[in-house]
Chains A and B, each alone.
Chain A
Amino acid sequence: MAIFEAILELADDHLVLGHRISEWCGHAPMLEEDLAMPNMALDLIGTSRTLYDHAGKLEGKGQSEDDLAYLRGEREYRNCLLVERPNEDFAHTMLRSLYFAAFMRPYWLKTLEMTNDETVRGVAGKAEKEMAYHIRHAGEWVIRLGDGTEESAARMRDAVAALHIYTDELFESSPAAAEAERAGVLPVRADLRAAWDEVIGQVFAEAFLEAPEVPYPQTGGRKGLHGEGLGHLLAEMQSVYRAHPGATW
């Protein structure tokens, strides 16, 4: 059961961030980004689908990927708070993606070294490569905006001030994740700090940004305690499936 929950946490992280990024579709500031955003959202949603399918099989109660994605409420979602933060402007969106991808790439690389779960290994092998270009895409934007005009640099600093407080949660393992770590299924989150710091430090140095001290990190997502925004996101994402239960498309 703990391993089911730990895989569900990972799947929720990817689905919620994927949905957030998909909200840019049709609204990005230029055509190239309008193509890039849905493509990267698809990477994340694709990863979540395999993880939900796997979680449903581990649980053994016949829940499909659609059941897990569309029929759980906000308090049952176990994603970290970072991924549900609203898009705001491009500075917020790109920084959020950078924080997440800079964590997930070393996470999946470590998974490839240690996991005893073949499906998780398969997901890791694909996702590690995708996270590399998510880091590149988001990192280039953070540098471009941080090292840009007065306005863009100010917005980038605002994004850091708003989002950095959510990054400590990436390195925390819930009781379920800790059990999956002990069982050799998932890597220990706390061990990935140095790899994350290295990428963020490299980008921030070029973007003239500073990582703030965070006296009170914001956590709670793994316990189902979310910000207001997640309920709205789920309402939009789940409304069609809840109106037509069992629908496929």
Chain B
Amino acid sequence: MSVCWQGTGEAAWEAAASVPDPEVPCVTVADLGILRWVRVEDGVAVAGVTPTYSGCPATLAIELAIEAALRDAGFDARIERVLTPPWTTDWITAEGREKLREYGIAPPEESGGKATLFGAPEVTCPRCGSRETERLSEFGSTACKAQYRCLSCREPFDYFKCI
């Protein structure tokens, strides 16, 4: 969280960056890299937010939550939806990845650009660290996650897919 705020926006950035993701509440919108920047322009805090997936149903909820957090911090607030550069799992911070693992969600394994057209990636179990896992379903509780099972400790878990 170093260079992402501009002008007098540090307090605004702190407020917006602390908003948890509604579907994966262990990480904040800043950890996930979907809060791109916060600028304060003439007393109005403008937050640049990017959707994860085109149809992510949480996009509006996230925008409203960020707007509310900025208002609570005393700013007039506005959200700007940013499409470029597109969000990929590479935007998730190292801290965010660690929080996901602790929460029981396997973080994305490889750079999104390297994802192959066919075949499932090898995923490490977030509970026991085993590489012996299998994919149960391409989609899990949300669009951005897949359902996996560990063949060593037998626990099912969510995997945050690479995109």
Contact = CB atoms under 8 A, between A and B. Distances in A.
Given A42-B57, A46-B51, A122 B147 contact: no
Interface stretch (B24-32, B41-49, B79-87, B96-104): B79-87
B154 to A, nearest CB: 19
A126 interface: yes
27 contacts: A32-B136, A32-B137, A35-B137, A36-B137, A39-B55, A39-B143, A42-B143, A43-B143, A46-B54, A46-B55, A47-B54, A119-B83, A121-B83, A123-B83, A125-B83, A125-B85, A126-B53, A129-B112, A130-B54, A130-B163, A133-B115, A133-B161, A133-B163, A135-B117, A136-B117, A136-B118, A139-B117
A50 B55 CA distance: 10
A111 to B, nearest CB: 12
A125 B84 contact: yes
A47 B137 CA distance: 24
B66 to A, nearest CB: 19
A69 B115 CA distance: 33
A126 B87 contact: yes
Interface in B2-53: 51, 53
Contacts of A18: 55
Contacts of A133: 115, 138, 161, 163
B75 interface: no
Contacts of B115: 132-133
Interface in A96-149: 118-119, 121-123, 125-127, 129-130, 132-133, 135-137, 139-140
Contacts of B136: 32
Given A32-B138, A32-B139, A35-B139, A127 B54 contact: yes
B56 interface: yes
B84 A118 contact: yes
A81 interface: no
B84 A42 contact: no
Contacts of A35: 137, 139-140
Given A43-B53, A46-B55, A129-B163, A121 B84 contact: yes
A55 interface: no
A128 B85 CA distance: 13
Top 9 closest A-B pairs, CB basis?
A122-B83, A42-B55, A46-B55, A46-B54, A125-B86, A32-B137, A39-B143, A36-B139, A35-B139
A91 interface: no
Contacts of B83: 50, 119, 121-123, 125-126
Interface in B98-156: 112, 115, 117-118, 136-140, 143, 147
B140 to A, nearest CB: 7
A68 interface: no
A31 B137 CA distance: 9
